[in-house]
Amino acid sequence: MRVVVVFETLFGTTRDVAESIAAGVTDGLPGAQVDVLRVGEAVPERVALADLLIVGGPTHNGGPTTILSRTARVAAEERKEPGDRHGLEPGAEGAGIRDWFHGLPQTDGERHAAAFDTRVDIPLAGGAGPGIALRLRFRGYEVVERPEGFFVEGNGGPLRDGERQRARSWGEGLARMVADRVASSTGHVATIRPGEVTHAAALATSGPSMQVLTEDVCYELLGTQEIGRLGVNAEDYPLVYPVNFGLDGTTIIIRSEPGTKLDAAEQAHVTFEVDEIDRRTRSGWSVLVRGVAEELKPGHGADVVLRTIAYGVDPWAPGAYGIWLRLRPQAISGRRILPGELPPPIDPRAYL
């Protein structure tokens, strides 16, 4: 049995967890081939044949890291006095888990996976694990266990006492579970969550298919992205603005600056759309939210105000984005196009 553990880390705590998980896999399956790879090393060829793929990373702003959040953490570390800095890991300034998933191909058969993260143990901190697990499912993996979070002391670590051993035990349990499944694979049927279809099932038909997404899956998909489109009625036209956003439960959080967008959205019915498209396979999904937007004000209460700001939505565009909008959904719907057979390539190397 082959197991690959892929991790992203800035200060080394997630590496410690990944290595402990790998040690646990070896405890459970002494004969297993186990590779522990940083995201920069985990090229498709090194993970494609894994019977079990375990992926993990640190939590930033309640979910998986982004290029922006990684850059900001590295810059903040470099501004510290030398004696106060955490040591940056190799590849800290490179691509993270979100970027790595763009290059992970769909599985060509039944493959097992699991997700983990490192996080601080405070209310509403969230975790990167669920977003990682969702991306694994989209690539056709069967996620065999709920994502696991391992606690760190402060933003840079170290790991809390006992977490290395807990990670080792978790890895051992995963290995034994998947080994049992692989041994009985001829009779095993992967469980498909409501609103989801495996890639293999999608390819069973010759043409593309359309899938209606459940409400739960729609919200999970929203949680994997950070850019959406806010639609408002203004200046005699429906206008659409690209915005950075975050999620507080099911409430969408947007930062804005004074102007047409804010004037039109405040206490108004708006739409909000998020999508992800793969041009190569002619597939993708789209989620549409209809709701009411309102400016965050002291009247919302201190708990809501602090919680909203804590999500740390950080607009990419320059400007003074000192105003926060909360969009309360009244309806949400989604569609996914699942690919059929790919069209003949123009270049023989097109799909290699």
**pLDDT value for 222:** 87
DSSP structural state of residue 104: P
**pLDDT value for 205:** 40
DSSP H helices, the chain, are 13-28, 44-47, 67-78, 97-102, 129-138, 163-183, 199-202, 215-222, 260-265, 302-310
> Using CA atoms in the order 17, 21, 23, 24, what is the torsion angle rounded to 10 degrees?
140
Q: Are 272 and 222 in contact (CB under 8 A)?
A: no
CB atoms within 10 A of CB 48: 14
**pLDDT value for 188:** 41
pLDDT tens digits for 100-112? Answer: 888 888 886 678 9
| pTM over 0.75, yes/no | no
Cis (ω within 30 of 0) for the bond into 90? no
CB atoms within 10 A of CB 318: 6
**pLDDT value for 174:** 93
- The C-alpha atoms of residue 29 and residue 172 are separated, in whole angstroms, by 8
CB atoms within 10 A of CB 327: 23
**pLDDT value for 189:** 41
**pLDDT value for 345:** 47
Which parts of the chain have pLDDT scores under 70? 85, 108-109, 123-125, 155-156, 184-207, 310-312, 319-320, 340-352
Two tokens, residue 21:
């998980």
**pLDDT value for 109:** 64
Q: Are 315 and 243 in contact (CB under 8 A)?
A: yes
**108: amino acid identity, one letter:** D
C-alpha angle with apex 255: 226 to 65, nearest 5 degrees? Answer: 30
pLDDT tens digits for 1-24? Answer: 899 999 999 888 999 999 999 999
**pLDDT value for 184:** 66
**pLDDT value for 185:** 59
